[in-house]
Structure 1
Amino acid sequence: MSVTDRRDVIDVLAGDHRAVEDLFQQLETGASGMAGTRKSLVDAVALELAWHCTAAQRYLLPLARRALPDGEALADEHTAEHLTVEHMVRDLEDKDPSDARFEPLLAQLIAAARGHIEHEEQITFAELTRECDRGELLAAGEELTAARRRAATTEPGPNAQAGPVGHVGPVGPGGPAGSGPSVVDRVRAVLSDS
């Protein structure tokens, strides 16, 4: 891999943001049409957000804590935002599109995720780009990319499905509500093994 092909952790996580925003736009413009397709898009959003939150906690926030003057407070704030998004993802996983609570919860999730994305891009990413050693950002990006590659080649479990950006393995949305651990928990397990 040449130096120009290398993506730092900010580039990788910003790519997550674009993937999530694309899914949000599909949901908002009605591109999802039927309830089954809508649920599939929401499952894809849940998977993307689970990957992003887990990856940021593991690969981005330790850099913020070390490199930024207000890194501890900023990382704690992001952790709280991630936990809020993860809680909403878990709640949404348990709902069917016909459930009266589905659409309001989806709207809350979209608003919370967009607020987090804006905060992360305008403040955290900008500060880390300015304050952190480029080599550290590249190393974290390579570690994250390698972990995702390993997760993608993990032997798929019975509920595995491909995610919207090639995430394959035992982290795909799994069956009906209550059928097992949340996608958030499955993603954490896979990335912690990487």
Structure 2
Amino acid sequence: MTVPLPPLPPTVGDDDEHYRPGGSSMVDLLADEHEQIGTLCRELADPALPAEQRHRVGEVLIATVTRHLSAEEQYLYPSVRSALPDGEPVADREIAADAALLRALVDLSAASTGEPDFDRAVSEISEQVDRHSRVAATEIFPALRSIATEADLIRLGNRVQIAEEAAPTRPHPTTPATPPWNRIVEPAVGVVDKVRDAVTGRQTYVEDLPDGTRP
């Protein structure tokens, strides 16, 4: 399989066929994130969760999904386009769905806990996340596994992790969603978001949540 990888360091040793880079497969990494995001959605939808905890979980969900979608658009969907026979329409469809999910995240960030708009946004996000995860698990990931080498998937996984560290933590539905511009714009926007997070003390990782608040 040929996938659009950034320049990579040379492999160690002469037998490249059996070389296995270190790290997690992109498919495994993104599947784990889908599970984590689903857990956050279920926690946020719990009406018994105190308002302050719902707010914290909501902030973490927004940041986690935003980073996740940014990395998928930089590496998963270009791989889908180049590797799968029907990759172009599949990638276009999923990027359009991502844009709708980002708009729902904007609605959530603008609402206050306890307001009907907050609950509506949580419901919309949960439905879209469920669809996103289901399509990936049943359609995209099995197809990539059947075509890609494990080494390719691990190298892509390493790039996904790097992209997520530099990604925005707030939804920006109007930023470019395809390479090369998203790989240029997203890190720049991410810097601005991280400065805002630091100034406001905003929590953006599950690990930031107090033990009693973590899903």
Match of 2:114 among 93, 98, 111: 98
Distance in 2, Cα, partners of 1:54 & 1:43:
17
Match of 2:103 among 78, 81, 87: 87
Change (3 A) 1:158 1:69: closer
Distance in 2, Cα, partners of 1:7 & 1:16:
12
Q: Which consecutive unaligned segments of at least 5 residues does structure 1 have?
A: 168-194
Match of 2:30 among 2, 8, 13: 13
Residues 63 and 204 in structure 2, CA contact (< 8 A), matched pair in contact too: yes
Residues 92 and 106 in structure 1, CA contact (< 8 A), matched pair in contact too: yes
**SS of corresponding position for 2:116:** coil
Residues 64 and 71 in structure 1, CA contact (< 8 A), matched pair in contact too: yes
In structure 2, give the amino acid aligned to 1:23.
L
Distance in 1, Cα, partners of 2:28 & 2:166:
19
Match of 2:204 in 1: 163
Change (3 A) 1:65 1:132: same
Match of 2:84 among 65, 68, 71: 68
Structure number, greater radius of gyration: 2
Q: TM-score, normalised by structure 2?
A: 0.68
Work out the percentage of aligned pairs sharing the same amino acid: 22
Q: Which consecutive unaligned segments of at least 5 residues does structure 2 have?
A: 1-18, 168-190, 209-215
Aligned residue pair count:
164
**2:53 corresponds to 1:53:** no
Change (3 A) 1:159 1:5: same
Residues 6 and 138 in structure 1, CA contact (< 8 A), matched pair in contact too: yes
Deviation at 1:139, TM superposition (A): 1.0
**SS of corresponding position for 2:195:** coil
Deviation at 1:99, TM superposition (A): 2.1
Match of 1:137 among 153, 160, 163: 153
Deviation at 1:87, TM superposition (A): 0.7
Change (3 A) 1:92 1:127: same
Residues 63 and 132 in structure 1, CA contact (< 8 A), matched pair in contact too: no
Deviation at 1:123, TM superposition (A): 0.5
Residues 20 and 151 in structure 2, CA contact (< 8 A), matched pair in contact too: no
Residues 105 and 125 in structure 2, CA contact (< 8 A), matched pair in contact too: yes
The CA RMSD over aligned residues, in Å, is 2.6
Match of 2:41 in 1: 24
Match of 2:94 in 1: 78
**SS of corresponding position for 1:101:** helix
Deviation at 1:40, TM superposition (A): 1.1
In structure 1, give the amino acid aligned to 2:100.
T
Deviation at 1:83, TM superposition (A): 0.6
Q: TM-score, normalised by structure 1?
A: 0.75
- Higher RCO structure, 1 or 2 (CA under 8 Å, sep 6+): 2
Deviation at 1:3, TM superposition (A): 4.9
Change (3 A) 1:69 1:120: same
Moved over 4 A (4+): 2-5
